[in-house]
Structure 1
Amino acid sequence: MTTDIEIAQQAKIRPILEIAEKVGLTEADLELYGKYKAKIDMTKIHELAAQPDGKLILVTSINPTPAGEGKSTITIGLADALNRIGKKTVIALREPSLGPVMGIKGGATGGGYAQVLPMEDINLHFTGDMHAITTANNALAALLDNHLHQGNELNIDPRRIIWKRVVDLNDRALRHVIVGLGGPIQGVPREDGFDITVASEIMAILCLATDIDNLKERLGKIVVGYTYQKEPVTVADLQIEGALALLLKDAIKPNLVQTIEGTPAFVHGGPFANIAHGCNSIMASKLALKLGDYAVTEAGFGADLGGEKFLDIKVPHLKKAPDAVVVVATIRALKMHGGVKKDQLGLENVSAVTAGFANLKRHVENMQAYGLPVVVAINEFVTDTEAEFQQLETLCHQLGVTVKRAAVWANGGAGGLDLAEAVVAACETKEANYQRLYQDEATIAAKVTTIVQKIYGGKTVVFEKKALNQMKTFANLGWDRLPICMAKTQYSFSDDPTAIGAPVDFTVSIREFVPKLGAGFLVALTGDVMTMPGLPKKPAALKMDVDDQGNALGLF
C-alpha cells in the first residue's frame, strides 16, 4: 500500500502564489519561504479585518484510541469536498510538534489523498515558528536566572519560580532538573524542569494574540514566579516583554500552504489539547474566515478537550462561534471503546459498535448543549462492514443527528461529497445558538466542577491541598474570573486513561493549578498528566531516514 509520504511526494504541488490568488492575495501580501510556503504580511491582515466572516466549521472527534480517528484527514478532505461543490473554502490547522512526529502519534498534516503540502516541511521545521517559540520561552528562563544571579532586585524566591524551559521533543529525562550548579559564577542553584514547547504559555499566547501589540501585552502578563512575600512576579516586572515579542515578530504571522487538491490552508500554532488549549491561532482562523465563504478548522484530541476549549476559551476571543460541528469517529475506534482488542478490530462486531457508541453519543450531546448543529463523520476503513455502519446510522438517527461516511483518505475530496453536503445543510437549515458552558463570574471550583459533570460525565471533583490553597490565593489576586484549561488524559472522559467508552459517576482529582495570565486562563492539572511526554519503546524516529537527494523517508 502506498504510504502517506509517498502520496505526498508524488502529488503535483502548485506554486504558493497560485494558491494565494485563489483567495485574492497577491505577491505583495506574502512573505515567501521558498516556492511552496509563505507567511501573510501584517499589513494585509489588518486590511482584511473589516471583511465579513464566512461560515465556521469546527471538526472534533471522539476520544482517540490506538485504532486511529483521522480528524485532520477529515478536516482536509471536507474542505476539498466543499470546494468541489462550489463553496469557496479555506482551512485553518495547527502546526505539528516534533515530539509526536518522532514519537508515536505521528504528524498533523492529514493522510492519504487528504493532506496538506509540503508534508515533510510542515512536519519538521516548517517556517521556524516552533524554534521561535522555544527560543522566546528559553530566553525568558535565561533572563530570569540572570536576574537572580545579578542581585535579585525583585526579591524573587527561587523556590517559587514556576516558569520552565522547553524543547520541541518528547524527553522524559528533562522533566525535573537542577540548574545553577558549579559554584557562584554559574548562577543560583534551584530546581527546574522542561515542558514540551507546545505546552509553553508563549505558544498559547501566540495562538490567542490578535496582533503584535496584543502579543506584547499578553507576554507582559506572564507570571514567572513569586517573591519571598508571595507576591506574583511577571514578565513586565522584568521589563523584557519587548525582547520576547521581537523574537516572535515573524512567528506571529500565519503560514499559507495547500492541500493536495489545491485548497488554501493556514497552518499556524500548535498547542496540545491535553495540556494546553489545543487550537490553531486566532489570526489564522480569522484569515480563513475573511478569505473563504467556509472556514474549516479543528480542535485537538476529543471534543471533551479541544472541542470544549475551542468553545469556552477561543470563541470569546475569536468573536465567532462555529456554524456547525463535525464529530469524527471510525467504526474501528468505536469497537475499541466497546471493549474490542486492537488485533480483533478487523472482524465484524455490531454489538461492540453499539457499546462503543456511548462515547460518540456523549460527545455529540455535549456539542449540541452549546447550541450548535452537529454532523457525525465516519472516517472509512476497508474493514468496516455494511451491518456495522447500518447499526451506527440507526443509533445516530435515534439521537437526531446526521451521519455520513467519508472516504477522503482513499479518494480525497471526492470521497467527502456527502459529508460536505450534510455540513452545508446543517449550516443553512439549522440555526447555531452558541452558549458558553460557564460564566467568568463563577468560582474556580464551580467552573472545574461544571466541566467535569457536564462534559466528562463525572460525579465529583477532589481538590488536593495545593489546589485548595491556590484557589484561595488566586481569588484574592482576582484571577478567579479566568476560564479553566483542563490538563487531562485524552484517552478517556475521566482522568484515568484506561476508562474507555463513557464512564459515569467517577471522581476527578485536581492536584494543582498553573496561572497562565498572558494566555488568559488557569490550567488545572488532573491525575498524573504530564506536560513533558516521553518516547515509546519503539519511536517512529527509528523508521525515519533521508536519501542522497535530501528526500525524507519513513515519515508516515
Structure 2
Amino acid sequence: MNFDVEINQAAQLKSIDEIVKSLDIKIDDLFFYGPYQAKLKPSFTNTLKEHKTSKLILVTAMSPTPAGEGKTTTTIGLADALFSIGKKSAACLREPSLGPVFGMKGGATGGGYAQVAPMDKINLHFTGDFHAITSANNLLAALIDNHIHHGNELNIDINQISFKRCLDMNDRALRHVELKLGQNHRDTGFDITVASEVMAIFCLAESLEDLQNRLGEIEVAKRLDATSVYAKDLKAQGAMTALLKDAFQPNLVQTLHGTPAFIHGGPFANIAHGCNSVIATKTALKLADYVVTEAGFGADLGAEKFIDIKCRQSGIKPDIIVLVATIRALKFHGGIAVSELNQENLKALELGFNNLKRHIENCSEHFGLDVIVSINQFSSDTEKEMTWLQSAVNKLGFKAILCSHWSDGAKGAKDLANAVLGQLSKPKTFKFLYEDDLSLKDKITTIALKIYRAKEVQFSDSALNKLLSLEKNYANLPVCIAKTPYSFSSDPKECGAPENHTLMIRELRLARGAGFVVAICGDLMTMPGLPKRPASEKIQLNSKGLLEGLN
C-alpha cells in the first residue's frame, strides 16, 4: 500500500471553484490560495441564513493508542459516503498542528483513500492561520513586557504574569524559560499554539467583533494590589484582531472523493477543547444538509468538550454520535503491548471492550444522543475478532458497522452512512453533562465521577487556592479538563476502564476570553516534546520536488 502522501499526490483533484458548486457557492464568494484551497469571503458568510433541517454528525472515539484510531479518516469517509449516495454533505475538520506532524502521530488529513487534499499543504503551512494565531499571541506577550520596560503604569506584578508565548512546534526546551529584562528577571515558558487561549478564542468567536471583544478580555497578569490586568488594558485587542482578520474566514478544500471540506482552527483536545471553529461549523450547517465533524481524542475528552463548551456557547447541537473503535485499540486496552497488536487475541479484545463500552454508555446516557460504533478496519483484524466485537456491541443495544474507507474510500463507509441516516429520524434528548449554576468544583467533580468514573478529585495546594479565587467571579463558566488521552484517569498507564481512581488536578487556569476554566491534570504538559524517533526523520523532498514520508 502506498504512503498517504503518495495516494494524495496521485489523485486527480478538481479546482476548488468546481468543488464548492455542490454547496451553491460561487467563484466570487472565494479568496483563492492556489487552485485547490480557498477561504470564504465575509461578504458571503455574513449573509447566509440558518438551515433548520441540516444534520450535524459528531465523530468521536474510544480511548486511543498512541498512533490514533482513525477519527479524521472516518469523518472524511462518512462525508464521502453520504456524498456518493446523493446527499448534500460536507466535512468539518481541525487544521493540523506542526507538533504532531513532525512528532509521533504525523499529519491530520485522514489516511488511505479517505483524505483531504492537498495533504502536504494542509499539513504544513496551509493558509497561514496558525502563523497568524501565533503572531497575535506573541504580540500580546511582547506588549506586556514592553509596558513593564517603559515604566509599568498598570503596576503589573512581574511575578504574577500568567500569559505565555507560544509556538506551533513540540519543543520541550521551551517549557521553562527565564526572561531577563533589564533588572527584572522572571520565570515563564511557552505553550504550543494549539493550547493557547488565542486559539481557543479564535475557534469559539462568531464574528470579528466577537473575536476582538474576547481577545480584549484575556487576563494577562495581576497588579501589585492583586486586581486583574486584561489585554484591553494594554490596548492589544485591535492589533491582534488585525493579524487574525483573514485567518478568521473558514478554509475550504476537498476530499479525494470530491466532497467539500471545511478545515479551520485546531485546538488540541487533551489540552484545549478539541473542535474546529464555530464559524466553520455554523457556515457548513447553513450550506449542507449533512455535516460531519470530529472531536479530538476519546469521547471522554473531545465529545465532552464539544458538547459542554462548544455547544453550550454556540447553540450548536449534534444529532448523532459516531464512535470510532479499532480492534487494535481494544487489545491495547486489554493489556497488550503495541508491538503485539497485530496478532489475534480474543481474550485481550474482551478485556479491552470495557473501554469502548464506557464511552458508549457515557455518550448515550449523559448526552442523550444515539450512538453508532464505527469499526475502523485494519488489515491485521481477523474474522473472529470482528465478529466478536460486532456481537458485543449489538448485545448492548447499539449498532456496530465495519468500515473500510481507508482502503476502499467512500464505498467502504456506505453501510455506516445508511446506518446514520436510519438513526437520524429518531427522537433524541440532547443534554449537557452539568448546569451552568454549579460551582467550578462541582463541575470538575461531575466530569470526574460521571465520565471518568473516579471516586474523588484531589487538588494541589496551588490549584485549590486558585479554585477559591475563581469561584468568586467565574463559577458560571464551563470547565475544560486537560489530561492524558490514553486513560479515563489522569495516569496514562491506567488503560481499559479504571474505576474508583483519584483525579489529580495540578493547576487551574482562567481562559476568560475563551469563556472557560482549564483544569490541568497529572503531569500533562501544555508544551509537548518530540519522541525519540520523530516523524520528521522520514520527511524529505525527492528529485522532483515532491514531498515524501509525510503521513
Fold match (TM-score > 0.5): yes
- Structure 2 CA distance for aligned equivalents of residues 67 and 180 of structure 1: 40
Pair 1:256–1:67, CA change in 2 (3 A): closer
**5+ unaligned residues in a row in structure 1: which ranges?**
none
- Structure 1 CA distance for aligned equivalents of residues 475 and 290 of structure 2: 36
Aligned residue in 2 for 1:386: 383
Aligned residue in 1 for 2:503: 508
Query: Which amino acid in structure 1 is aligned with residue 186 of structure 2?
Result: R
1:282 corresponds to 2:278: yes
- Structure 1 CA distance for aligned equivalents of residues 543 and 424 of structure 2: 49
- Structure 2 CA distance for aligned equivalents of residues 340 and 247 of structure 1: 48
Aligned residue in 1 for 2:353: 357
- Structure 1 CA distance for aligned equivalents of residues 450 and 467 of structure 2: 21
Matched-pair contact (CA < 8 Å) for 1:372–1:431: no
Give matches, 1:341-380, under 5 Å: 341-369=337-365, 370-380=367-377
SS in 2 for 1:31: strand
SS in 1 for 2:47: helix
Aligned residue in 1 for 2:77: 77
- Structure 1 CA distance for aligned equivalents of residues 329 and 438 of structure 2: 36
SS in 1 for 2:280: helix
Aligned residue in 2 for 1:497: 492
1:133 corresponds to 2:128: no
Query: Which amino acid in structure 1 is aligned with residue 453 of structure 2?
Result: G
- Structure 2 CA distance for aligned equivalents of residues 275 and 346 of structure 1: 30
Give matches, 1:23-422, under 5 Å: 23-52=23-52, 54-66=54-66, 68-181=68-181, 183=182, 188-369=184-365, 370-422=367-419
Matched-pair contact (CA < 8 Å) for 1:111–1:409: yes
Residue 538 of structure 1, aligned match among 518, 521, 533: 533
Query: Which amino acid in structure 1 is aligned with residue 524 of structure 2?
Result: V
- Structure 1 CA distance for aligned equivalents of residues 333 and 15 of structure 2: 43
**5+ unaligned residues in a row in structure 2: which ranges?**
none
Matched-pair contact (CA < 8 Å) for 2:5–2:119: yes
Partner deviation per Cα, 1:239-260 (whole Å, 9 max, x = no partner):
1111110010011111000000
1:529 corresponds to 2:504: no
1:459 corresponds to 2:488: no
Matched-pair contact (CA < 8 Å) for 1:60–1:326: yes
Further displaced range: 189-198 or 517-526: 189-198
Matched-pair contact (CA < 8 Å) for 2:45–2:283: yes
Residue 513 of structure 2, aligned match among 491, 515, 518: 518
- Structure 1 CA distance for aligned equivalents of residues 47 and 489 of structure 2: 44
Matched-pair contact (CA < 8 Å) for 2:60–2:298: yes
Matched-pair contact (CA < 8 Å) for 1:67–1:332: no
- Structure 2 CA distance for aligned equivalents of residues 134 and 58 of structure 1: 28
- Structure 2 CA distance for aligned equivalents of residues 290 and 437 of structure 1: 27
SS in 2 for 1:180: strand
Query: Which amino acid in structure 1 is aligned with residue 180 of structure 2?
Result: G
SS in 1 for 2:31: strand
Query: Which amino acid in structure 1 is aligned with residue 419 of structure 2?
Result: A
Residue 483 of structure 1, aligned match among 478, 490, 496: 478
Query: Which amino acid in structure 2 is aligned with residue 161 of structure 1?
Result: I
Matched-pair contact (CA < 8 Å) for 2:67–2:105: no
Matched-pair contact (CA < 8 Å) for 1:225–1:232: yes
Matched-pair contact (CA < 8 Å) for 1:65–1:333: yes
Partner deviation per Cα, 1:293-340 (whole Å, 9 max, x = no partner):
100000011000011000100012231211100000111111111112
Query: Which amino acid in structure 2 is aligned with residue 42 of structure 1?
Result: P
- Structure 2 CA distance for aligned equivalents of residues 252 and 75 of structure 1: 23
Shift of 1:273: 0.4
- Structure 2 CA distance for aligned equivalents of residues 341 and 191 of structure 1: 39
SS in 2 for 1:382: coil
Partner deviation per Cα, 1:477-511 (whole Å, 9 max, x = no partner):
x1111000001001100000000000000001112
Partner deviation per Cα, 1:457-492 (whole Å, 9 max, x = no partner):
11100011111111221122x111100000100110
Matched-pair contact (CA < 8 Å) for 1:322–1:432: no
SS in 1 for 2:91: strand
Shift of 1:53: 5.1
Matched-pair contact (CA < 8 Å) for 1:444–1:481: yes
Aligned residue in 1 for 2:9: 9
Matched-pair contact (CA < 8 Å) for 2:355–2:497: yes
- Structure 1 CA distance for aligned equivalents of residues 68 and 217 of structure 2: 38
Partner deviation per Cα, 1:370-425 (whole Å, 9 max, x = no partner):
11010000000111111111211121111111100100000000001111111111
Query: Which amino acid in structure 2 is aligned with residue 151 of structure 1?
Result: G
Matched-pair contact (CA < 8 Å) for 1:67–1:336: no
Residue 469 of structure 1, aligned match among 460, 465, 472: 465
Shift of 1:232: 1.1
Query: Which amino acid in structure 2 is aligned with residue 409 of structure 1?
Result: W
Matched-pair contact (CA < 8 Å) for 1:373–1:431: no
Pair 1:8–1:121, CA change in 2 (3 A): same
Further displaced range: 159-168 or 333-342: 333-342
Matched-pair contact (CA < 8 Å) for 2:68–2:105: no
Partner deviation per Cα, 1:337-382 (whole Å, 9 max, x = no partner):
1112222222221121111110001111111021101000000011
Query: Which amino acid in structure 1 is aligned with residue 55 of structure 2?
Result: K
- Structure 1 CA distance for aligned equivalents of residues 308 and 26 of structure 2: 35
- Structure 2 CA distance for aligned equivalents of residues 455 and 136 of structure 1: 35
SS in 2 for 1:5: helix
Matched-pair contact (CA < 8 Å) for 2:478–2:515: yes
Aligned residue in 1 for 2:428: 432
Shift of 1:137: 0.4
Pair 1:170–1:53, CA change in 2 (3 A): farther
- Structure 2 CA distance for aligned equivalents of residues 342 and 461 of structure 1: 30
- Structure 1 CA distance for aligned equivalents of residues 375 and 51 of structure 2: 34
SS in 2 for 1:304: coil
- Structure 2 CA distance for aligned equivalents of residues 243 and 550 of structure 1: 37
- Structure 2 CA distance for aligned equivalents of residues 457 and 506 of structure 1: 8
- Structure 2 CA distance for aligned equivalents of residues 367 and 48 of structure 1: 31
Further displaced range: 42-51 or 390-399: 42-51
Shift of 1:67: 5.5
Partner deviation per Cα, 1:225-246 (whole Å, 9 max, x = no partner):
1111111111111111111100
Matched-pair contact (CA < 8 Å) for 2:64–2:485: yes
